[in-house]
Amino acid sequence: MPAQPFDPCQDLADILLPHLPADNGDGSHDLAHIHRVWINARTIQAQEGGDLTLLLAAALLHDCVVIEKSSPLRSKASSLSADKAAKLLAELGWPAERISAVAHAIATHSFSAGLQPETLEAKILQDSDRLDAIGMVGVARCFYVGGRMGSALYDFNNPTAAGRDYQDRQYSLEHFHSKLLKLASGFQTGEGARLAAERHRRLELFVQGFMDEIGSPQP
């Protein structure tokens, strides 16, 4: 990682990073993920505008409460993270209005939460986080999470899931169809949507190549 990975707001990062939870062993929600979300946010903000300080605080703290995807509490992870972030920023003396803005961005960033972002910063954070779920990084994260959950790569007897619903908890490949290939249609900003379209195409090419290599036609 570069010496100033959260440039141009490294000073804020130096304050907030020590407050992040210790390594929980989840490589899909680690510091590298946070940094990628920040890079995405900076890229989108350069075209769309928005407050970089708010965005960095939200990006750094958006997963400060980590709940496994297999947990029944998964849909509450973003709201729990928002609450924890708000308490931390209050302790650091942030104004209430800016704390509320950061908390809103965190609470609405999650796909599973199903909440609508209302501010520009919240829209950028949601787009930035979802960009990390698609493209080549999204492919890697999908199979990494599947491995942690004990999922098979695909259903040997029915690779296309013909005649049944997708079972993405059992077969990692089916997560592409149940979720990942649907994400690009829900982006909030113009720049986010443009970047998502590029990464969506990479997902499509991956699935096409995967199905070809296992000797199965596309569903």
pLDDT at 28: 75
- Helix, strand, or coil (residue 152): strand
Residues 17 and 101 in one domain: yes
Residue 218 has pLDDT above 80, yes or no: no
What is the C-alpha separation between 122 and 113, in angstroms, rounded? 14
What is the C-alpha separation between 213 and 168, in angstroms, rounded? 20
| Residue that finishes a domain, picked among 72, 94, 129 | 129
Task: Quote the DSSP letter at residue 74.
Answer: G
Alpha carbon separation from 142 to 9, 34, 64, 172 (Å, rounded): 30, 17, 21, 7
* 65-110 per-position pLDDT tens digit: 877 666 666 667 888 999 999 999 999 999 999 999 999 999 999 8
Token pair listed for 26: 């989840």
| Residue that finishes a domain, picked among 113, 129, 145 | 129
Question: Do 121 and 103 form a contact (C-beta atoms < 8 A)?
Answer: no
Residues 107 and 175 in one domain: no
Alpha carbon separation from 200 to 84, 97, 205 (Å, rounded): 33, 36, 9
Residues 111 and 42 in one domain: yes
Residues 48 and 118 in one domain: yes
Residues 107 and 24 in one domain: yes
* 114-154 per-position pLDDT tens digit: 779 999 999 999 999 999 999 999 999 999 999 999 999 99
What is the number of structural domains in the chain?
2
Residues 119 and 146 in one domain: no
What is the C-alpha separation between 62 and 182, in angstroms, rounded? 22
Question: Do 134 and 200 form a contact (C-beta atoms < 8 A)?
Answer: yes
| Residue that finishes a domain, picked among 77, 97, 129 | 129
Which amino acid type is present at position 154? Y
Residues 103 and 151 in one domain: no
Residues 72 and 48 in one domain: yes
Could you give the angle at the alpha carbon of 75 between the alpha carbons of 18 and 126, nearest 5°? 65
pLDDT at 68: 67
Ranges of beta strands (E only) in the chain are none
Residues 124 and 17 in one domain: yes
Range of the domain at 92: 1-129
Residue 6 has pLDDT above 90, yes or no: yes
pLDDT at 73: 64
Instruction: Specify the CATH number for the domain of residue 174.
Output: 1.10.3210.50
* 16-55 per-position pLDDT tens digit: 999 887 776 777 788 999 999 999 999 999 999 999 999 9
Residues 123 and 140 in one domain: no
Residue 2, C-beta contacts closer than 8 angstroms, at least 6 positions apart: none
What is the C-alpha separation between 124 and 127, in angstroms, rounded? 5
pLDDT at 70: 64
What is the C-alpha separation between 152 and 169, in angstroms, rounded? 9
* 143-185 per-position pLDDT tens digit: 999 999 999 999 999 999 999 999 999 999 999 999 999 999 9
Residues 105 and 63 in one domain: yes
* 193-217 per-position pLDDT tens digit: 999 999 999 999 999 999 999 998 7
Alpha carbon separation from 64 to 5, 30, 105 (Å, rounded): 19, 10, 13
Span between the terminal Cα atoms of the chain, in Å: 39
Instruction: Read off the pLDDT of each residue in 9-22 and give the average, rounded to a whole number.
Output: 90
Exposure pattern of 208-217 as b/e (b: 16+ CB <10 Å)? eebbeeeebe
